[in-house]
């Protein structure tokens, strides 16, 4: 081969190599700019653009009179963008944030997100701490202050079990379709009304796209999508009633549930002792949570629907209605009470050891004679008692959606045979006729019962929103004259001489009601100095005004002793607060400092 041909071949090979090289470069450019262009553009933009989430203001919760129960408050967090953190060391950053270096390392290491996604290092900063960090932020590129929207609960413990509180989304909630699109660090409802109406109150977060310099400082705003505020809601609660009741409990364990008789709207909902939801909204510490969870008074227990108690003599209301409706007694039927009755080897006493002597229905309710209602129970039998008790909502869940609810128990011959495998005995009827024995109820159920007596026999499902359409569950079908006779006697309990709830007599309105003392254990009279945990529970169920009921309620004070001295004064204060003019309530709205 001539030298000329060899030279030509070399040129040809070099040409092919150049063409191949250019082809590779073109393919690579196509790959970078077309196939992977969007990904690299995002990385490039992240070096100068920052997308900041703007939390949505949460809807405000009002009481029925337009008094706000909550407010929105800013929640400040210190975060860092790992890809931009090129200035100070973790140890110096830890000193600035008052966070151990090991904790910062752990948080930075655990994140599985993009290096341009902010990592939360410390939350719940005060304004003073925010100012201190902002003044030194230029020394730490990538460090930023993020703002979330949290809550301030204006009535503190007064609204704990009712309004509830916010908290960070749990891992389980983050997987729930209901929370789709909610930023992972956002506050969501975790308890009470905040949880029940979270979607309505939550709103939609917005975004701000800003251009930043090499130190992460904002240069200009490029794009803004404003947040959409959540919807406000008006509860059926009357905060004046609520606050008066909470104050009257003085921290004693118990519950109050108040209803609007003609609609079933909840006017008051107290579980005492309560907890301060502000502690949760700010991020409750481990020590505070342990103190709450270990508290022997169980402040996290929702006693209104989650605790069951014998109703004591408040159950005599059902006995009177059943006796009149079934014709086994009339308002003139009399019994001679000599302090108790004997049945076989058993003695069933009356609370008044000397007896009430010859007594009719009206005074039997006014003075709460046990012997009279032993006789009514004997004539009715337990199954007819069961029928009337359940017609008035006892033994069934009320449907209040503020926690896992207990249903109580109204016994029957069938129930005992199925559960105890033994027949029913007359002596058990005597005991259950005065609200002891197997009978158990919740404060919410007793409020439903009292509300249905006040309105003439209609059981409405309790509702938490103002103006909600009434939902009739049961119409007891009781004759109006029966209800009127019982209501007249309940008026006497408070307003007649010898009534067991004279302390509830009010100059503001006419209150009717019934006391109850629910025995915890059998204690001899001379053992009255035993521990408080053995004392009887105190009940009072009430309605007002008697002439045209606007409010009905139940009050339970655990180990309070007598209903007339422990529970009735609470009901009186709550009812009187409810009867205040709306303008006065707004003027005197109590707000926790």
Catalytic machinery residues? 313
In this structure, are residues 304 and 404 in contact, taking their beta carbons and an 8 Å threshold? no
* Cis peptide bond upstream of 545, omega within 30: yes
CA distance linking residue 453 with residue 490, whole number of Å: 10
What are the CA-CA distances from residue 563 to residues 180, 203, 515, 569 (Å)? 50, 46, 5, 9
DSSP 351: S
Taking only Cα atoms into account, the Rg of the chain, rounded to an integer number of angstroms, comes to 34
The H-or-E segment that residue 564 falls in is helix 563-566
Instruction: Specify the residue for token string 């002439």.
Output: 547
| Length of the chain, in residues | 593
What is the rounded CA–CA span in Å between residue 48 and residue 257?
A: 58
Q: Please write down the HEC assignment for all residues of 129-172.
A: HHHHHHHCHHHCCCEEEEEEEEEEECCHHHHHHHHCEEEECCHH
CA angle 137, 140, 143 (to 5 degrees): 70
Peptide bond into 273 cis (omega under 30): yes
Count other C-beta atoms under 10 Å from residue 509's C-beta: 16
Q: Which residues pair with 210 in a beta bridge?
A: 50, 221
The DSSP code for 121 is: E
Closest listed residue to residue 321, CA positions, set 437, 192, 123, 481: 481
SS3 category, 70:
strand
How far apart CA 237 and CA 589 sit, in angstroms, is 13
Residue 91 tokens read as 């140890």
Please check whether residue 77 is in contact with residue 253, taking contact to mean a CB–CB distance below 8 angstroms: no
Query: Is the Cβ–Cβ distance between 352 and 368 less than 8 Å?
Result: no
Q: Name the token pair of 444.
A: 């919410």
Cα–Cα dist 238/159, whole Å:
11
* Beta strand spans in 199-319 (E): 206-212, 218-225, 233-234, 254-259, 266-272
Whole-angstrom Cα distance, residue 114 to residue 173? 22
Distance CA 277, CA 155 (A): 9
Residue 359 C-beta-side C-alpha neighbours within 13 Å: 24
Reading the block at residue 19, the tokens are 């063409």
DSSP run (H or E) holding 542: strand 537-544
Pairing of strands 266-272, 254-259: antiparallel
Neighbours of 13 (CB within 10 A): 10
Phi, psi of 54 (to 5 degrees): -110, 110
């Amino acid at each position: 081969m001539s030298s000329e041909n060899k030279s030509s071949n070399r040129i040809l090979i070099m040409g092919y190599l150049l063409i191949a090289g250019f082809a590779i470069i073109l393919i690579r450019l196509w790959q970078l700019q077309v196939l992977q262009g969007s990904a690299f553009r995002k990385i490039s933009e992240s070096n100068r653009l920052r997308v900041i989430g703007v939390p949505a203001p949460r809807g405000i919760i009002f009481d029925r009179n337009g008094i706000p129960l909550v407010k929105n408050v800013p929640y400040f967090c210190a975060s860092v963008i790992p890809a931009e953190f090129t200035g100070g060391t973790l140890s110096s950053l830890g000193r600035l944030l008052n966070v151990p270096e090991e904790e910062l390392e752990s948080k930075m290491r655990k994140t599985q997100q993009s290096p341009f996604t902010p990592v939360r290092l410390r939350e719940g900063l005060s304004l003073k701490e925010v100012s201190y960090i902002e003044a030194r932020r230029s020394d730490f590129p990538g460090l930023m202050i993020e703002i979330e929207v949290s809550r301030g609960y204006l009535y503190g413990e007064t609204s704990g079990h009712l309004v509830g509180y916010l908290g960070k989304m749990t891992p389980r909630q983050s997987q729930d379709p209901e929370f789709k699109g909610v930023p992972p660090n956002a506050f969501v409802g975790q308890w009470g009304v905040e949880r029940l109406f979270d979607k309505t109150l939550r709103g939609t977060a917005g975004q701000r796209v800003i251009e930043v310099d090499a130190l992460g400082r904002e240069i200009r705003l490029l794009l803004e999508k404003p947040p959409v505020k959540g919807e406000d809601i008006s509860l059926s609660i009357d905060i004046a009633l609520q606050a008066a009741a909470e104050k009257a409990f003085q921290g004693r364990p118990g519950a109050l549930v108040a209803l609007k008789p003609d609609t079933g709207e909840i006017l008051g909902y107290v579980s005492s002792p309560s907890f301060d939801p502000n502690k949760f909204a700010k991020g409750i510490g481990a020590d505070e949570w342990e103190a709450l969870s270990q508290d022997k008074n169980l402040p996290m227990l929702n006693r209104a629907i989650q605790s069951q108690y014998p109703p004591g003599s408040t159950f005599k209301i059902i006995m009177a209605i059943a006796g009149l409706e079934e014709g086994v007694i009339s308002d003139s039927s009399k019994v001679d009470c000599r302090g108790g009755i004997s049945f076989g080897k058993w003695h069933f006493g009356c609370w008044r050891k000397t007896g009430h002597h010859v007594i009719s229905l009206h005074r039997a309710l006014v003075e709460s004679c046990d012997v009279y209602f032993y006789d009514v129970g004997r004539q009715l039998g337990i199954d007819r008692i069961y029928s009337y008790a359940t017609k008035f909502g006892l033994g069934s869940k009320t449907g209040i959606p503020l926690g896992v609810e207990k249903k109580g128990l109204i016994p029957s011959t069938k129930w005992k045979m199925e559960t105890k495998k033994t027949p029913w005995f007359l002596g058990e009827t005597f005991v259950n006729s005065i609200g002891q024995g197997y009978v158990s109820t919740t404060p919410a159920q007793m409020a439903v019962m009292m509300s249905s007596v006040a309105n003439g026999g209609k059981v409405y499902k309790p509702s938490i929103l103002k103006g909600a359409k009434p939902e009739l569950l049961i119409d007891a079908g009781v004759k109006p004259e029966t209800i009127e006779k019982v209501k007249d006697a309940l008026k006497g309990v408070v307003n007649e001489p010898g009534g067991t709830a004279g302390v509830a007599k009010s100059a503001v309105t006419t209150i009717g009601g019934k006391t109850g003392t629910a025995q915890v254990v059998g204690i001899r009279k001379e053992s009255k100095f035993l521990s408080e945990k053995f004392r009887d529970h105190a009940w009072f169920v009430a309605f007002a005004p008697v002439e045209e009921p606007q409010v009905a309620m139940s009050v339970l004070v655990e180990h309070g002793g007598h209903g007339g001295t422990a529970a009735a004064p609470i009901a009186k204060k709550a009812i009187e607060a409810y009867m205040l003019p709306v303008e006065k309530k707004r003027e005197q709205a109590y707000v926790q400092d």
